[in-house]
Chain A
């Protein structure tokens, strides 16, 4: 429950009297005491939802000139977002004096808790998120996006584009950010986390208690971090998308994976030869070999060097005897 006393007067009005109450109050204030209306709307503490709701009243040229630069720029940006054209957005944003990314962040951070289910409001927040993540590569907004996703989910609202924006950060660390919600006491948080992280093998069969699941995800992440890459798969595309995957090739040779899933460094002739053989194996054998290779590399580099030069059949036999899998 927020403390209404510490809020801006207009935000307070919106939260206590609803959107219509705010509109009525502001409309009367405009007629009765315009300078007070200007003062209230220009306060630094004003949140984006109130500005958004009042925007039809304050867009007229007479009132617009009295708005502070933050409000003028925010309204200009909203217009630019509605243009549905990123080039036009870029042209329009040149006319504003505030930093575009700061304004987009202000919209998201002060607008994140608002449950306006109007399509236009959701669309503005989704667009701000996509621009910040995809175009400005600003991942500092991820915690806010995560909050919006979970809040919307609890209210049965649309989350696809926000989830897409979240994963578009392309940073595997965002997996752990989501996994933290497996520890939540709210069942809906846990439910959504399982849906979003279903691409992780240990989550797929998720009958385990959440706290054990969290530990398993953390272990999986630690083991695979250098080999995880972003695939771009999204919920619009298929029932069980894998936005991130583990490169088994990279894990087998213990090489860092690049953004597109290929091995980052140049391979030696011997590594290329191994890779060619590895590619012909079935997925179970690949998992077995890559898991053992990664484990051995961390435990004993000397032994790993000997093992990786053995024929693949021998590598499989040793991996299978140590890890318990069946070579296929």
Chain B
């Protein structure tokens, strides 16, 4: 169910403002059919979230097309003009550039970059926020970017993990766990993947695949003879939409 300012919202009243965008329509239909009440303070807040989710999906597809490689943190690589590669394998934004051009460079020169799946998701989130905020605003707010993992996000890009959310939406980051991974390939212990809708996911190093395909790939990196399958966790991680809206409007 959808509620705005305490009133139930009929999706029919909002669909005309979604410009036939499939991701936005899919997202709002999931909210509408849910037994959970999705509450927003205004129509603008709802539209902002729908737009950001759409941008996450688009940023995922574009990153896949960029041909960025899969590399473990120990052998990660980046364009040193924009980023300084740190000892632990992360990419630190250089001071002689702007955050937006450094993020965009990953998309235009993807083949120069190589990193793990968690960093790829962080890149996707930054790119989606860049598209939602615009270059100038993004550069003002996100000038402290360190691309590494979930623990090193810019103070303004907060994310939330929900361990058992009532529904899943396009733009969610899901996690496929591989409990019996071969101990000599720890990079396959699991895969962070963006929900693209219709049971398709983008996972860096695996590509755009169905959930079953991702499980199949992870299973091929188990210990030989293992009968414990990889599986999709019930949790999801997403940007803190309310915080981003606050920044967006400030």
Q: Which residues of A contact B (CB under 8 A)?
A: 81, 83-87, 89, 117, 119-120, 122-123, 126-127, 130-131, 134-135, 155-161, 164, 195, 232, 234-240
Contacts and interface: CB of A to CB of B under 8 A. Distances in A.
A239 B150 contact: yes
Interface of B: 72-75, 86-89, 116-118, 149-151, 153, 159, 161, 175, 177, 179, 182-186, 189-190, 192, 223-225, 233, 235, 237
A84 B183 contact: no
A227 B118 CA distance: 31
Contacts of A237: 118, 150, 175, 177, 190, 192, 233
A131 B87 contact: no
Contacts of A87: 223-225
A120 B190 CA distance: 22
A237 B174 CA distance: 9
15 contacts: A85-B224, A86-B182, A117-B87, A123-B72, A134-B183, A156-B86, A157-B88, A158-B74, A158-B89, A237-B175, A238-B150, A238-B175, A238-B235, A239-B151, A239-B159
Contacts of B161: 238-240
Nearest to A161: B186
Contacts, number: 87
A119 to B, nearest CB: 3
Contacts of B237: 238-239
Given A164-B189, A239-B153, A130 B87 contact: no
Contacts of A131: 183-184
Contacts of B179: 232
A86 B87 contact: no
A83 B224 CA distance: 14
B116 A236 contact: yes
B185 A236 contact: no
B91 to A, nearest CB: 13
B74 A127 contact: no
B87 A156 contact: yes
A232 B177 contact: yes
Which secondary structure characterizes the binding site on chain B? loop
Contacts of A135: 183
Contacts of B150: 235-239
The 7 A-B pairs with the shortest beta carbon distances in the complex, nearest first, are: A119-B74, A87-B224, A239-B150, A130-B183, A158-B88, A238-B161, A156-B87
B74 A122 contact: yes
A117 B75 CA distance: 11
Given A131-B183, A131-B184, 19 more contacts: A81-B184, A84-B185, A89-B184, A119-B74, A156-B88, A158-B73, A160-B73, A164-B186, A164-B189, A195-B151, A232-B179, A235-B151, A237-B150, A237-B233, A238-B237, A239-B153, A239-B159, A239-B161, A239-B237
A48 to B, nearest CB: 18
A146 to B, nearest CB: 18
B9 to A, nearest CB: 27
A236 B193 CA distance: 12
Given A195-B151, A236-B149, A236-B192, A86 B86 contact: no
A312 to B, nearest CB: 22
A126 B153 CA distance: 25
Given A158-B73, A159-B88, A86 B183 contact: yes
B199 to A, nearest CB: 21
Contact of A85 (B72, B75, B184): B184
Nearest to A123: B74
B189 A234 contact: yes
B174 to A, nearest CB: 10
A131 B87 CA distance: 24
B223 A130 contact: no
Contact of B223 (A86, A120, A160): A86
A269 B158 CA distance: 45
Contact of B184 (A127, A160, A195, A235): A127
Contacts of B87: 117, 155-158
A45 B115 CA distance: 38
Nearest to B160: A239
A53 B189 CA distance: 29
Contacts of A164: 186, 189
B223 A126 contact: no
